[in-house]
Amino acid sequence: MKAVDLLRASKVEISPETFTLVSLRHEDWLRLLENPELSPRMTAPFMIFRDKFEVTLLLDEVDFGTIRHAVRDAKIEGGFRLLTFDTVLDFNVVGFLAEVARILAEENISMVALSAFSRDHVLLKQNDLAPALTSLGPFVGELC
């Protein structure tokens, strides 16, 4: 199935939480790991991504509030909303996020792309949420 057809069959879910992206140095991440009370709750969405440059955390407001005092030197960007495309995507699907990015880019809306094993997600700034949903509406099966 083509990316545009999968998008048209997608249900877009909007997470009720507001999220913060945190960029940590590796050594700061190791210090956080030493304190289990700073771990994210297992009931809220979160992401941890480590590459050779940094450790990136995606946390909701509650979990970010828990670690805020421990990450004073981190780069922080808040006010994100999470959109989930509730369509299971096979690994042979080409261009799904590219199509989402194209639709949003035409309206000058910035996004951060995230992928889980079977579904794609995007982070949008809160101020861009309504215009993004208006832009995506004609191209998706359902907005929730």
**DSSP category for residue 87:** S
- Tens of pLDDT, residue by residue over 78-130, are 999 999 999 999 999 999 999 999 999 999 999 999 999 999 999 999 999 99
pTM for this prediction = 0.90
Architecture of domain 3-16+80-138: 2-Layer Sandwich (3.30)
Count other Cβ atoms within 10 Å, centred on residue 40. Answer: 19
> 123 is written with which tokens?
């982070």
Question: Does residue 59 sit in helix, strand or coil?
Answer: strand
Q: Return the residue matching tokens 């997600």.
A: 121
* Residue ranges, CATH 3.30.70, the chain: 19-79
Residues 6+ apart with CB under 8 A from 77: 20, 21
pLDDT value of position 52: 96
Q: Answer yes or no: is pLDDT of 44 > 90.
A: no
Q: Answer yes or no: is pLDDT of 1 > 90.
A: no
* Residue ranges, CATH 3.30.2130.10, the chain: 3-16+80-138
Average pLDDT, the chain: 93
The two beta strands, 75-85 and 11-14, are: antiparallel
Q: Answer yes or no: is pLDDT of 32 > 90.
A: no
pLDDT value of position 63: 92
CATH 3.30.470 fits 19-79, yes or no: no
> 94 is written with which tokens?
């080409």
Question: Could you tell me the CA-to-CA distances from 134 to 47, 80, 131 in Å, in that order?
Answer: 27, 17, 5
Residues 6+ apart with CB under 8 A from 93: 1, 3, 6
Q: What percent of the chain has pLDDT over 70?
A: 100
- Spatial distance between the Cα atoms of 101 and 110, rounded to a whole number of angstroms: 8
